[in-house]
Structure 1
């Protein structure tokens, strides 16, 4: 058995979180311990040259060598946090969620996997995805690749009334919000940006139609998230509302929010730049904890919606 095979074996064992003892390896391979020491030296050099996120360290108290992850590499707290967020999203099918979690777990050593598995096992067992049942990972990747190429496409889209329509669009961004992935796209038919749930896109193909948007007109995902609520198109407004609940809940919902005034009883006046339609949905969900002050147009819409809700109970 040559040195190259032996070194591959050692590296595989280290990646599997084994503690390697020099004398035991020398006995196993029938070589001098100095040969094993040279193997360790070669592995250290290889790890450094390839910029791998590990260090080969001698554990004096344990009497052997182990791979240790760099401080800035992927850690088990990070993997655990990402998995928890994924499970809470409910966005992927059972199969895609299992594949994704298993892939993330393989990024950390087996000992870390063993620590994470019991923490997430109950959530994995009872994971319930949203109802559309559509695989999304490949479609999200494919659509994302169209954005930097500014390629117009025609999609077969199932609208909320279950009617299939062909729509020619220019993809601008892919965003996740409230359980669903959306394709943000400029739509010539409306001469505006619209949001399409990716699970409702049954097919797409390249369009011969030329759609152009200059840099100033293009959608920026980070900027969009500051103003958008519930992926609802609408008009950007300067919203002001009095809030009587936990202040952080309102400030976190509107990234542009700031407190304009604090009242003696503890409630506050908040101002935020936002899109009116999505903001209205959240404001109505807060019931008596909120009173919209401005703009007047949104106040009127809120009042009409509340009256319509009361009429349901008459």
Structure 2
């Protein structure tokens, strides 16, 4: 709302708008019904006041009268209006460039999918005058992008699985196993979607007691891992399952301890590292702890799931001496 418009408003409305604006600047949430009752006006009047405040903030931004750009938005979680820093809720050019580079390096999608995603990111999140610069910086890498060999379009499955996880619904999948290329059917309780080393994975608990008897770990409290691109068919079932808060699966903690997305028993490994960059080891193994440093030799321990860690240990050659498991 411009200052000239403010001059024409009644004293009551001006006082009401200033009250709302002060609350917003103080970080409070404005609930239209409560404010309407407080000021003895209609909810529509409060909504018009909010619109006037939005116009005023836009005017301040256009005239460059504010060091930071703000707007009023409706927060669905709080069910009210809050003041937001526009710069905090939009991506900077540097952030979009970083996201594009990470996407390209992931090699997670087919080339048409990747091209479309990059174009949407740049078109919708970068100011028009900077779009050509971003496109130029990613052009060569995008042109030489190598899509995964499976060439499978699966992105819609991620959303379907995500909804099943949120609603605690069982799913049934037809899955192509890697060891013998045979298709198997599984009824699952989906727990999480994860990404690692070019692929998206579904972590889920098998909802079949007879099948579980053939597992290496009977009554395993940790999920089985499935590559999403190998899921040939996916059906969300009406059947639901209960998840107690105390027993909920925490993918963040699981991800720290799993290497190359191989499941298995939880175990602790210890080794001596004599390579050039111990930080790379700590980044690769988030649960790693340096127990002792002796010159250039580091004694390190870490908690991991399964045997996937063995692949990585072998790849380090003479830089790692395994002490025990």
Tell me whether the two structures share a fold, i.e. TM-score over 0.5: yes
Gaps of 5+ in 2: 1-50, 66-84, 213-218
Aligned positions of 1:1-314 closer than 5 A: 48=54, 55-57=61-63, 70-72=86-88, 73-105=90-122, 106-160=124-178, 161-188=180-207, 189-190=211-212, 191-192=219-220, 193-207=223-237, 211-245=241-275, 246-264=277-295, 266-295=296-325
The answer on whether the counterparts of 2:200 and 2:228 sit within 8 Å (CA) in structure 1 is yes
Contact 1:241 1:290 in 2 (8 A): yes
Question: Take 1:180 and 1:152, find their aligned partners in 2: how far apart are those partners?
Answer: 23
8 A Cα contact 2:171 2:236, kept in partner: yes
Distance 2:57 2:251 in 1: 32
Structure 1 segments (4+ residues) deviating >4 Å: 49-52, 208-213
CA contact (8 A) 1:155 1:204 kept: yes
Q: 1:289, CA displacement in angstroms?
A: 0.9
Alpha-carbon distance in structure 2 between the residues aligned to 1:172 and 1:95: 29
CA 1:51/1:102 → structure 2, altered by over 3 Å: closer, same or farther? farther
Matched position secondary structure for 1:273 = strand
After superposition, the Cα gap between the structure-2 partners of 1:49 and 1:204, relative to the gap in structure 1 and judged at 3 Å, is farther
Q: How much does 1:178 deviate? A: 0.6
CA distance in 2, matches of 1:137, 1:208: 22
The 3 A distance-change label for structure 1 pair 198 and 47 is farther
Is the 1:47–1:55 Cα contact (8 Å) retained in structure 2? no
Alpha-carbon distance change, 46 to 133 in structure 1, aligned in 2, over 3 angstroms: farther
Q: Secondary structure at the match of 1:147?
A: helix
**Aligned CA distance change for structure 1 residues 56 and 235 (closer, same or farther; 3 Å):** same
TM-score, structure 2 normalization: 0.68
Paired residues of 2:169 and 2:238 also in contact (CA < 8 A):
no
SS in 2 for 1:167: strand
Q: Is the 8 A contact 1:168 1:207 kept in 2?
A: no
Q: How many residue pairs were aligned?
A: 240
Residues 46 and 181 (structure 1), Cα distance of their counterparts in 2 relative to 1, 3 Å cut: farther
Output one character per residue of 1:85-115: Cα deviation in whole Å (capped at 9) or x when no partner: 0000000111111111111112111112122
The aligned counterpart of 1:19 is none
Query: How far is the alpha carbon of 1:158 from its aligned partner?
Result: 0.9
1:197-222 deviations in whole A, cap 9, x for unaligned? 11111112234666544333332121
Q: Within 2, Cα distance between the matches of 1:139 and 1:288?
A: 42
Deviation string 1:10-51 (CA, Å, 9 cap, x unpaired) is xxxxxxxxxxxxxxxxxxxxxxxxxxxxxxxxxxx7893599
How far 1:55 sits from its partner (Å)? 3.6
